[in-house]
Amino acid sequence: MEQKEIIKENRSRPKISIVNERMWLLVALGFVILCILSWLNEILDLPYFLTGGIRTPINWHELIVEMALISIVGLFTVSVVIRSIAENKKKEKLLQSYRDELEIKVNRQTAELLRVNEELRTDITQRKKAEESLRYSEEKYRHLIENLREGIWVIDKDSYTTFVNPRMAEMLGYTTDEMIGKHLFSFMDKRGVEIARGLVNRRKQGVKEQHDFEFLRKDGTRLYTTLATGPIFDGKGNYSGAIAGVVDISRRKRTEDALKLSEERYALAQRAANIGSWDWDIRTGNLEWSEEIEPMFGFGRGEFGGTYEAFLKCVHPEDRQHVVDSVNTCIEKGRDYDIEHRIIWPDGTVCWVLETGNVVRDKNNKAIRMLGIVKDITERKHADEVLKRDKETFERLVSERTHELFKTQAELDKAKRLSDLGTLAATVAHELRNPLGVIKIAAYNIRKKRKNSLLDKHLDNIEKKVSESGQIINNLLSYSRIKTPSYEKIQIYDILNECIAFMKRRFHKQDVSIVKKFKSTEKKLIEADPLHIREIFNNILTNAYQSVSNKKGKIEISERDDGKGSIEISFKDNGIGIGKKDLERIFEPFFTRKSKGTGLGLTICNELVKLHGGKIDIKSKKGKGTSVTVSLPIKREAK
C-alpha cells in the first residue's frame, strides 16, 4: 500500500516544460529589434546630439551597414541560442528519461523494503506470540504436573530418578529432592525388583503398557499402585529412559480384598442354595455368570459365550419374547425383573429357572448395568405340574359327575314336565279336537247351503282359526312326544320340496316368493328321521311366512356341504326380524312374540336337530329379516 502511494507521489511531481522552437525564435527576433530600437533611441536622443553628435553628420550608409551587421550578429546569436535550446531539450528529455527510470527503480526498491519490513514485523510479532504461548504452556504444564493428583516419575537409561512431581514423592513419603538421583529399585522389595527388571527391559524394547505394582514407602509400608508406563528415545532412536503415570490404589485394593472375601462367602451361600448370580453390562453386551450358573444351563466351565445374545439362545423359543419384554420393561420403566421361564440345554433337555434382578443407572438415570440372580426350579415345576394335573383330574371328575348329576336332574325335570305336558296335551286334544271338528263341519255345511260373500268371509276366518287351533294341538302333542329318531336314508331335497309345496298351498293368499339356490343338482342322501326333518322344515317355513305376511315377501333357501360331514340348509327371509333380547330366548318353550301360536315351533326344531347330532343357528336384526341355518350330519353318528 505504501509502495503505491510513493509511486503516485513521484509521478505527480511537475516536469520541466520545453518551449516550442517557434516561441524561442520569436523571442530572439524580438530581442534583436529591441537592441536596434535602444541604439536608435540613444543616437537620436538630444543629449547625444548635444554632446557632439551634431558636429558629426550621420552617415546613413554606415548606419545601415551597422544595423545590418547588428542584425546578422543578432540572427547568428539567435541561431546559436536556438541550437543551444534544442540541445538542452534533448538533454532534458534524456535527463527526464533517466529520472523516470530512476524513479521506477526507487519505487521498486522502496516497495521491496516495505514488504521485507512488514514480513519482519509479522515474523517478530508471531515469534513474540509463540514465545508467550510457550511460556504460558510451560507454566500451565508445570502447574499441572505439580498439582496433579497422580504421580509422575521419570528415570534415565540406567533407571535413576531424574524427575518426580510432588504427588509422587508424597505417595512414597519422600520429598522430591530425596527421590532425585535414587535408583528405581530403591523403592521396592526383592520380589518387586525381579518384576521391575523385566518391565524395564520391555521399556527398552519400546513397549508401552499399564499394570499394577507394589512399592515400599519410606516408613516400610506397602503402596499399591497402577502404572501407565512408556519408553523415552532420543533423536537418534536410542533408549534414554522411561516415564510413568502412577495412581495410588491402596484404598481400592483394600476394598477389592474385602469384596473378594464377601464374594467367597456369597459364592458359598449360592452353592448351598443352588443359586447363581449374573452381571450384565448393558453398554457392551457382556454378561458375566457366577460359576453356579453354567451347570444350570447345561454348560461345562467356560463354555458359555458371555453375552446377552448367547443367553437368549438358551431360552426356550416360546418364552424368548416374554424374557426380552420383561428385560426391556425393567430397563425402560424401572420395574423389578422377576420371571420364570424355560431354558434348553445343549443336549435338548428342557429346564425351568427363576430369575430376579434390577437395573443400575448412572447420574443421568441411564441404565448401564443389570444385576440379578437365577435359581433352578425344574423340580418344583415338575411337582407343580403333577399337582396341577392331579387337581385338574379331580376337578374334571367332580365336574363330570356334577354335570351328569345336573343333566340327569334336568332330564328328570324335563321328563316330568313333558309327562305333565303330554297329559295336558292329550286332555286338550281330546277335549278340543271334537268341538273343533264339529265347528269345521258346520262351517262347511253352512258354506255349501248358503251362498253369501260376507258369510263366506266369516266362514274362512272360522276355518282358519280352527286350523290354527289344530296346529297348536299338534305342536303340544309333538313337543310332549319327542322321541329318538328312526333313522333311514332319505333324499333331503325331496322332503324340502314337499314342505315348500305344502307351504305355498297353505299360505296361497300371501304374496311371497320362494327362491331356491342349490349349488348341487344331485340328490343328497342323508341318514335321518323323515318325519322329524319334515317337521323341522315346516316349522321354519311357517315362521318365515308369518314374518313376511304384511308385505311382499321373499324367502331364499340355499344349501352347502361344509366339508366336515354335514349339510347346511339356510332359510333367509326379508321379514320383520327379531330383536337382540328376543333372540337370546328364541328356543325357550312357549316363548313367542306373536299374538297367536304356542311358541313351541323353534323349540321343537331345536330339540329334533339336537337329536340328530346337528345344530341350528339363527341370525336376525329387527327390521332386516331373519336367517335360520340347520346343520345335519350326512351320516348317523355312531353311539
Question: Is pLDDT of 434 > 50?
Answer: yes
Question: Is pLDDT of 185 > 70?
Answer: yes
The terminus-to-terminus CA distance of the chain in angstroms comes to: 121
The reported pLDDT for the residue numbered 412 is 57
The reported pLDDT for the residue numbered 17 is 43
Q: What is the C-alpha to C-alpha distance for residues 75 and 36, in angstroms, rounded to an integer?
A: 13
| 397 confidence band (pLDDT: 50, 70, 90) | confident
Strand extents, DSSP E, 377-443: none
Number of helices (H), then strands (E), in the chain:
17, 17
Annotate 157-178 with DSSP letters as a single string.
TTSBEEEE-HHHHHHHT--HHH
| Backbone torsion region of residue 15, taken as left when φ is above 0, otherwise alpha when ψ lies between -120 and 50, otherwise beta | beta
pLDDT in tens, 489-540: 999 888 989 999 888 888 877 888 888 888 765 677 889 888 888 888 988 8
| 575 confidence band (pLDDT: 50, 70, 90) | confident
Q: What is the C-alpha to C-alpha distance for residues 179 and 249, in angstroms, rounded to an integer?
A: 21
Displacement of CA 28 from its chain's centroid (Å)? 108
Kindly report the number of other CB atoms within 10 A of residue 208's CB atom: 11
The reported pLDDT for the residue numbered 457 is 62
Upper half-sphere CA count for residue 492 (Cβ side, 13 Å): 29
| 472 confidence band (pLDDT: 50, 70, 90) | low
| 423 confidence band (pLDDT: 50, 70, 90) | low
DSSP one-letter code for 286:
B
| 55 confidence band (pLDDT: 50, 70, 90) | very low
Q: Are 547 and 522 in contact (CB under 8 A)?
A: no
Give the pTM. Answer: 0.33
Q: Are 307 and 342 in contact (CB under 8 A)?
A: no
Question: In this predicted structure, which of 72-76, 118-122, 180-184, 436-440 has the lowest mean pLDDT?
Answer: 72-76
| 611 confidence band (pLDDT: 50, 70, 90) | confident
The reported pLDDT for the residue numbered 428 is 55
